[in-house]
């Protein structure tokens, strides 16, 4: 598919306790650049796609370092604005054994969250684009970013640009302001072609529960979403079963209007870093869609990329098509 992918969302700095320490156990922190939409863009860029990042960061060394990082991963950063304000941060203590990972957010009043809704010229930004990727984190940050996300999706739909939307529902963010998440998310999904979410996300949107088990429940929810949202063409999700912090079982699924396809569980052991696994999955699915892969190949690509991401420190997938092919072939020996 001709055209580039536009990713709109906040760039964050992730500060991680080294090894598997608790936060501030020794006072040392490792720094990574993150952000859900940027993670998807980086994953796609590493698979050979042209990607443009749209965001706002502070005009200081932290903001400029974030821009350098995403530019270094191949993203066009012309539409990342330098503004007054502060850098959004989050802090991670990686889990171990039966202790879960723990995240502390510090992103209130960031440069991105404080940017006015009309700070972005969407008709110009989306000129020549094939797809716009958004997530539910952006509208959850406040009324300005909610309006900006809606403006972006409306402009994309009007220009014939595909819209990809990852639900990423964050109740604590929505609760910080006088928000109506169901109304905002419902409009965003109504403008969406590809949605990342499961039966719980669809329940939030439609106000109904789905009673089936496993794949049957997901298909029931998908059919209800397709009936409610005429523009929606596919719904992608993963199912994760956690045995312990180091061993998960993951299955991948995509539903189209015609049918659904779900993989068997894949055991992911020796996990290095699970943060960004969902974003890697989204990048893999969108790669399959943009490359014209069939349903089974698209789901396999998404599953491969999310499994591979668990082997890599940091937020983003840095893997190539060759890495995906090796994974799908079961090649675990050293490649020489």
Tokens of 288: 């399959």
pLDDT band per the 50, 70, 90 thresholds, residue 334: very low
Tokens of 149: 């996300």
Domain ranges of the chain: 4-235
What is the pLDDT averaged over residues 57-80? 98
Distance CA 122, CA 45 (A): 21
Phi, psi (5° rounding) for residue 144?
-70, -45
Looking at residue 237, what is its pLDDT? Answer: 96
DSSP letter for 272, please.
S
Rounded to the nearest angstrom, the gap between the alpha carbon of residue 238 and the centroid of all alpha carbons in its chain is 13
List pLDDT tens digits, range 130-188.
999 999 999 999 999 999 999 999 999 999 999 999 999 988 889 999 999 999 999 99
Looking at residue 115, what is its pLDDT? Answer: 97
- Scored b (16 or more CB within 10 A) or e, 233-252 reads bbbbbbbeeeeebbebebbb
Q: Considering the chain, what is the average pLDDT of its residues?
A: 94
Distance CA 289, CA 47 (A): 13
Looking at residue 336, what is its pLDDT? Answer: 46
- Does pLDDT of 324 surpass 70? yes
Question: Quick check: helix, strand or coil at residue 22?
Answer: coil
272 close to 311: Cβ distance less than 8 angstroms: yes
User: Any idea of the CA torsion for 36, 53, 283, 163, to the nearest 10 degrees?
Assistant: 100
Distance CA 183, CA 130 (A): 26
Tokens of 302: 């998404």
Residue whose C-alpha is closest to residue 244's, from 278, 219, 268: 268
Distance CA 95, CA 82 (A): 35
Looking at residue 214, what is its pLDDT? Answer: 80
Phi, psi (5° rounding) for residue 253?
-145, 145
Taking the alpha carbons of 164, 55, 68, 314 in that order, is the dihedral positive or negative? negative
Residue whose C-alpha is closest to residue 188's, from 150, 137, 224: 150
Distance CA 180, CA 199 (A): 20
87 close to 110: Cβ distance less than 8 angstroms: yes
Distance CA 247, CA 271 (A): 7
- Does pLDDT of 1 surpass 80? no
70 close to 77: Cβ distance less than 8 angstroms: yes
List pLDDT tens digits, range 270-282.
999 999 999 999 9
Greatest mean pLDDT among 98-107, 127-136, 203-212: 127-136
pLDDT band per the 50, 70, 90 thresholds, residue 212: confident
**Superfamily the domain 4-235 falls into:** Ribokinase (3.40.1190.20)
Percent of the chain with pLDDT over 70: 98
- Does pLDDT of 305 surpass 60? yes
β-pairing, 129-135 with 4-8?
A: parallel
pLDDT band per the 50, 70, 90 thresholds, residue 245: confident
253 close to 262: Cβ distance less than 8 angstroms: yes
157 close to 196: Cβ distance less than 8 angstroms: no
- Does pLDDT of 98 surpass 90? no
């Amino acid at each position: 598919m001709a055209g580039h992918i536009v990713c709109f969302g906040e760039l964050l700095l992730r500060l991680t306790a080294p090894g598997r320490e608790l936060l501030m156990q020794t006072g040392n922190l490792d720094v990574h650049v993150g952000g859900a939409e940027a993670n998807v863009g980086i994953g796609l860029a590493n698979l050979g796609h042209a990607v443009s990042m749209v965001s706002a960061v502070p005009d200081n060394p932290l903001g400029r370092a974030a821009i350098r990082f995403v530019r270094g991963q191949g993203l066009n950063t012309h539409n990342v604005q330098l503004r007054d304000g502060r850098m959004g941060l989050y802090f991670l203590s990686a889990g171990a054994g039966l202790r879960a990972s723990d995240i502390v957010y510090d992103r209130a009043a960031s440069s991105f969250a404080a940017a006015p809704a009309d700070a972005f010229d969407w008709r110009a930004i989306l000129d020549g684009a094939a797809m716009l990727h958004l997530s539910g984190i952006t509208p959850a940050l406040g009324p300005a970013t909610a309006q900006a996300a809606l403006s972006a999706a409306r402009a994309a739909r009007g220009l014939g640009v595909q819209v990809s939307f990852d639900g990423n529902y964050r109740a604590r963010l929505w609760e910080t302001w006088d928000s109506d998440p169901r109304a905002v998310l419902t409009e965003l999904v109504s403008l969406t072609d590809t949605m990342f979410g499961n039966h719980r996300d669809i329940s939030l949107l439609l106000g109904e529960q789905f009673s089936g088990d496993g794949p049957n429940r997901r298909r029931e929810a998908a059919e209800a979403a397709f009936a409610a949202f005429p523009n929606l063409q596919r719904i992608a999700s993963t199912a994760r079963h956690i045995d312990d912090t180091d061993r998960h079982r993951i299955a991948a699924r995509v539903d189209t209007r015609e049918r659904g396809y779900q993989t068997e569980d894949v055991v992911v052991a020796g996990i290095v870093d699970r943060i960004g696994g969902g974003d890697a999955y989204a990048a893999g699915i969108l790669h399959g869609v943009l490359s014209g892969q069939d349903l089974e190949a698209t789901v396999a690509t998404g599953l491969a990329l999310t499994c591979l991401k668990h082997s890599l420190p940091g937020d983003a997938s840095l893997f190539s098509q060759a890495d995906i092919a090796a994974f799908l072939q079961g090649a675990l020996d050293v490649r020489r």
